[in-house]
Structure 1
Amino acid sequence: MKTNWKSLVLVGLISSASTLAGFKLLGTDNDKDVIIKEAAGENIARFTSTGAPVGAPGDFVYAAEATTPTVVHIKSTSTRQAYRGGGGGQQIPDIFRDFFGDEFGGGQRGPQSQEASGSGVILTSDGYIVTNNHVVEGAQELEVTLHNKGKYRAKVVGTDPSTDIAVIKVEAKNLPAVTLGNSDAVKVGEWVVAVGNPFNLESTVTAGIVSAKGRGLGIIGSSSRRNGVTPAAATAGDSPLESFIQTDAVVNPGNSGGALVNLKGELIGINTAIASPTGSFAGYAFAVPSSIVKKVSSDLIKFGNVQRGYLGIQLDNLDSRKAEEYGVKVNDGVYVREFTENSAAKAGGVNKGDVIVKVDGIDIHSVPELQQSIGLHKPGDKVNLTVNRDGKERELSITLRNRTGGSDIIKRDETAAIMSVLGAQFGNLSDQEKQRLSRYKVEGGVKVLAIEGGKFARSQVEEGFIITKVNGKAVKTVKEFEAAIAGKEESMVTFEGLYPDAPYDVFSFGFRL
């Protein structure tokens, strides 16, 4: 149904006229003068509704003025291959519709340019900007527009799909940088302000309160909606880390990567997702806490990847029913179900069946809270765990390990980084598959086993696609494929291949890694 805006405006004017007429009929001429003076006077411009001066720390005006210059608009451009004809293609996922529009026509072939938009927050005066991974994922070009309308090309410094955080950089000096706040000190019920660029409306400010903390939604690493929660574009990630700040400040597509600040104008989160059955705001939004943002962005700038410490345990949230099921004496905390190989927790004295109730003296009530507390540390750091064992609390000192079970800083694996950008899993062809393809004079290739986001998803490549050439050179094994893309970061790479059910139809596509 189309909205008749003229009618709405007319109704608004009539309502206003009726109200003023009411004042005129009910009041004296002196009363009318007072009303006019209040509407046009300087008092409203200089003071808040509480009587505090406008522009002082603690009010919305101050928070907006302090933050807006630090929030940028990000436009990403990528080229994708139109999906297969004959109805075999996929529709564009719902979570991307608000960025890219409705589904593109099926059956078309050839490269198509598409644009996405989001927000970012300036971290440093020399051009480092933090945003969401899903805002920049798969982009061949990034254009950043500053609050003063200055436009810059940006490059990706690093991404962390497990937290949906990315850092990009523009070549500029003396930029207004945000002040990082302490997200751990944020209280439920506290006023907050969200700043971003929803629906390409630049520099939009909304307000709300913190309605919950430590939310784990299960959306990072998922490309589909779950329980009505819509990430602006969730991506695959290893060991997702979710501990969102929940707010009722209005956040819509385009706000992704924007700032969530307290009334002192300090960054307490990066707006990331909304809970909505429609893709637009329906009451709740979620932000990555600034404590995680600080850790991840610092590691990306310094190391090129995130240095996360791990306990090496499998966990479960507790309630009274599960406490009875597991036979533990407390129903608040995190239950230790099992250990992974080379577990730091096991080496430090944690037992299966223990309940973790504190980390470094801070109470732990849920798995997301524990993951956040541990995820802020790097391999080799020591943490103090308080565990409840048979009804008694014990203090344990744990030396965290990296994801491989060691304590060293993990250097960036360039090939692994490129594979992450591609967003797919690959496998060698079976002997039967090789034999079948040989009938069509195809000597071999590498099979796409799964699509998990990234540039292959943007190119509409489907599972089962067989890559036969990279940059015109034949590849027959995963090892040859990895060798072909090694060292190609920031370079244009072309792929050629086919689908087993249509071996005569050869597809080619390419993008900048």
Structure 2
Amino acid sequence: MKKPMLVLSTLALSLSSVLTPIHATAALPLSVNGEQLPSLAPMLESVTPAVVSIAVEGTQVSQQRIPEAFRYFFGDDFPGNQVQERPFRGLGSGVIIDAKNRHIVTNYHVINGADSITVQLKDGREYDAELIGGDEMSDVALLKLEEKATNLTQIELADSDKLRVGDFTVAIGNPFGLGQTATSGIISALGRSGLNMENLENFIQTDAAINSGNSGGALVNLNGELIGINTAIIGPNGGNVGIGFAIPSNMMKNLTDQIVEFGEVKRGLLGVRGGEVTSELAEALGYNSSKGAFVSEVTEDGAAELAGIEAGDIIVSINGKRINTFSELRAKVATLGAGKTVEVGIVRDGEEQTFDVTLQEQSDVKTKAENLHEGLAGAELTNTTSTDKVEGVKIASVVEGSAAQRYGLAEGDIIVGLNRQRVNNVAQLREMLEEKPDVLALNIQRGERGLYIVVR
């Protein structure tokens, strides 16, 4: 008990020493020589109603490996893994991007695994929300408030491709569950990546204070326009050290538009492999910059090859916007969406060229089935490809001991029908499950035979 008391005492002393001189001085003037002092208050008064607090509850399913000694004593029938379910609660932030349709964007990690989502507006009103769709790799999710939510304020979007290092920023969110909070700073860097190499990252870096609970909140410019969704920080014990990251608004808009239209993210595919441009590589290729994405290999019959891009090219722009790294290229292409035609700028033999490329679709995009129906929890779903014998929704994996496994679903199964209706893809299945049927009669293709599995 002594150590916590010492820390608290030190903090109290520190606060007292800071506050005393302020009380001893006169109040700050509102104007100097008749001119109003600059203030962010007018902008925040118009923007903050569009930023919400999000509270979630759910059950976290985890697996624990059972020691082999147990199987030695109890036999080979003893399960190798033990499934544990633990209830959890979480807090985060969100931004109203469409007041008419009651749409709120937040981070995927804020609502991941949630059974219930409650949204609190700045004025104190609380509403339930449902998940429309999300993408774990880009950490974006789209929610919809219940119908009785009215008189909402939405935020206007800025063109995040026009941002510059040094632009002023304001972060708004719900840090540590304290309630809505605004902090200010500048853009420290653009195109940041490398926090999680499996994810799609093209972050805005800012020194505006971002802490736990700010996830999903707004990063705005001085005009009150949304430039990013606050997502991650680098700091000890979750505390702020002036290095925060936000998903650019353009990237977020591309993803949420796909979720609204298709019920899922249809990730774009350029069909190239490569890496960063090093100084040695630039010198060898006669390229006078270290910025861009080097193409080491072009996929056969891929979008890039069909458009004329070749191995050895350096991709320097997408739709006229400069590309600094291969990670930035990967994130932008994937989030633009399949079927989009983009202008790709390259450098070949020291000369710049442009190609119109129609992006193909990544076939390995997976959706967690619990986002669609609790009876399917533990299964990952993906669309079938041309190599599958039938068209439908493929079970990519099933967690041992999960609800999906208990109902009899297995990896490799293909869902071809639901309640006597044909199912062709994940988006169609999602739309059918939005009606929340009491019973799911799944028509399954398993190898060469068909079967029905009933899920309640």
TM-score, normalised relative to structure 2: 0.74
Which residue is equivalent to 1:272?
Answer: 231
SS in 2 for 1:301: helix
Which residue is equivalent to 2:122?
Answer: 147
**Deviation by residue 1:312-338 (Cα, 9 ceiling, x = unmatched):** 1112110212335x6453443211111
SS in 2 for 1:278: helix
Which stretches in structure 2 are left out of the alignment for 5+ residues? 69-80, 382-394, 420-428, 441-454
Q: Distance in 2 between matches of 1:263 and 1:348?
A: 41
Higher strand proportion (structure 1 or 2): 2
Q: Tell whether the 8 Å contact from 1:475 to 1:481 is kept in structure 2 after alignment.
A: no
> Structure 1 residues 353, 282: closer, same or farther in 2, change over 3 A?
same
For residue 47 of structure 2, what is the amino acid of its counterpart? T
Q: Summarize the alignment of residues 219-258 of structure 1 with structure 2, pairs less than 5 Å apart.
A: 219=196, 221=198, 240-258=199-217
Give the CA RMSD over aligned residues. Answer: 4.2
> Structure 1 residues 425, 340: closer, same or farther in 2, change over 3 A?
farther
> Structure 1 residues 396, 108: closer, same or farther in 2, change over 3 A?
closer
Q: Distance in 1 between matches of 2:190 and 2:336?
A: 20
Q: Distance in 2 between matches of 1:422 and 1:258?
A: 28
TM-score, normalised relative to structure 1: 0.66
Q: Distance in 2 between matches of 1:120 and 1:396?
A: 38
Which residue is equivalent to 1:497?
Answer: none
Please, which of 173, 184, 193 is the counterpart of residue 161 of structure 2?
184
Q: Distance in 1 between matches of 2:209 and 2:42?
A: 19
For residue 358 of structure 2, what is the amino acid of its counterpart? T
> Structure 1 residues 391, 76: closer, same or farther in 2, change over 3 A?
same
Q: Tell whether the 8 Å contact from 2:205 to 2:243 is kept in structure 1 after alignment.
A: yes
> Structure 1 residues 491, 242: closer, same or farther in 2, change over 3 A?
farther
Q: Distance in 1 between matches of 2:18 and 2:267?
A: 58
Q: Summarize the alignment of residues 307-386 of structure 1 with structure 2, pairs less than 5 Å apart.
A: 307-324=266-283, 327=285, 329-332=287-290, 333-375=292-334, 377-386=336-345
Task: Count residues in correspondence.
Answer: 397
> Structure 1 residues 355, 261: closer, same or farther in 2, change over 3 A?
same
Which residue is equivalent to 1:114?
Answer: 88
**Deviation by residue 1:456-492 (Cα, 9 ceiling, x = unmatched):** 9xxxx6xxx366x758644566428998997767579
Q: Summarize the alignment of residues 85-100 of structure 1 with structure 2, pairs less than 5 Å apart.
A: none
> Structure 1 residues 245, 414: closer, same or farther in 2, change over 3 A?
closer
Q: Distance in 2 between matches of 1:85 and 1:415?
A: 24
Stretch of structure 1 that moved more, 76-85 or 390-399: 76-85
Which residue is equivalent to 1:68?
Answer: 48
Question: By how many angstroms is 1:20 displaced?
Answer: 8.2
Please, which of 392, 413, 418 is the counterpart of residue 479 of structure 1?
413
**Deviation by residue 1:329-372 (Cα, 9 ceiling, x = unmatched):** 34432111112343111111111111112333333221244345
Please, which of 120, 136, 143 is the counterpart of residue 168 of structure 1?
143
Question: By how many angstroms is 1:285 displaced?
Answer: 0.5
**Greater length-normalized contact order (CA 8 Å, ≥ 6 residues apart):** 1
Is 2:360 aligned against 1:401?
Answer: yes
Please, which of 80, 83, 105 is the counterpart of residue 130 of structure 1?
105
**Deviation by residue 1:379-398 (Cα, 9 ceiling, x = unmatched):** 44333323221222223232
Which residue is equivalent to 1:197?
Answer: 174
Which stretches in structure 1 are left out of the alignment for 5+ residues? 22-34, 89-106, 222-239, 427-447, 451-455, 495-511
Q: Distance in 1 between matches of 2:113 and 2:346?
A: 43
- Over the matched positions of the two proteins, sequence identity in percent amounts to 34
Q: Tell whether the 8 Å contact from 1:248 to 1:285 is kept in structure 2 after alignment.
A: yes
Question: By how many angstroms is 1:280 displaced?
Answer: 2.3
Q: Tell whether the 8 Å contact from 1:64 to 1:195 is kept in structure 2 after alignment.
A: no
Stretch of structure 1 that moved more, 337-346 or 185-194: 337-346
Question: By how many angstroms is 1:195 displaced?
Answer: 0.6
Q: Tell whether the 8 Å contact from 1:415 to 1:482 is kept in structure 2 after alignment.
A: no
Q: Tell whether the 8 Å contact from 1:470 to 1:481 is kept in structure 2 after alignment.
A: no
